[in-house]
Structure 1
Amino acid sequence: MCVSARECTRNADGTWRPGYVAAALVFAIGMAGTTLPTPLYGLYQEQLGFSELMVTVVFAVYAVAVITVLLVAGNYSDETGRRPVLLCALGLSAASAGCFLLEGGLPLLFAGRLLSGCAAGLLSGAATAAVIELAAPGQRA
């Protein structure tokens, strides 16, 4: 077991493991990005004048998208490779951020939440597998 992060990012022969760090950063940044717009929902509610129930529905769209993508495409990175799935997830995350930036009503909020959920579903499967595969031997647990 590695004692420090520095030890976990090196091969058994002491050489640098940049793929491990990159995969972990993609995973962390991607998953953090799916939650960043959450504090804005109260502001959107005030500006757009929708109800508490609609805020709940906006949150639920994310959960439905994550579960659906995990069930439908959870192992897609096993077939196509980790990198294409991670790049697709990051693209969906960027599109989601665009929806929140351009927000002009509920349709864009729903689209942003849907895209964010799809990105999180793809990221959670592919990035977890990538980080495990790139971990140092004996550190995969």
Structure 2
Amino acid sequence: MDISTDKAKLDIALIHSFLSEQSTWAINIPRVLVETSIQHSLCFGGYENGQQIAFARVVSDYATFAYLMDVFVLPEHQGRGLSKQLMQYIMDHPQLQGLRRFMLASSNARGLYQKWGFQALSKPEIMMEINHPDIYKASK
């Protein structure tokens, strides 16, 4: 798999389709929100034979903090180690080195992320959130 951070290569329709129809975290997300999130993120596209088959994005200040999100490999390409290849590329990216905190949320791939040092919060009592898990259902 070839991996690129060139946003011009991204297949926005494919990304929106996966997130809005197949993900467990962004069902019904409007395309305009996907487009806006891509504009304001460091994006990673995975490609085979010129077709996008994987995606991830990172929101960061590139100095102290980053948040990894929207990671996926299309179902028909899973089971070949591509998520590991994508994660290694992200973790090696020069703009994401030396961060004090790198976070993500995962309900089904924790084992994958643990291979790169991600772990449960060491002090969950200091973390807070505003969470609207059904926001896209409400805005439909």
Greater relative contact order structure (CA < 8 Å, 6+ sep): 1
Give the alignment's TM-score, normalised by structure 2.
0.24
Give the alignment's TM-score, normalised by structure 1.
0.24
Tell me which protein shows more strand as a share of its residues.
Answer: 2
Tell me which protein shows more helix as a share of its residues.
Answer: 1
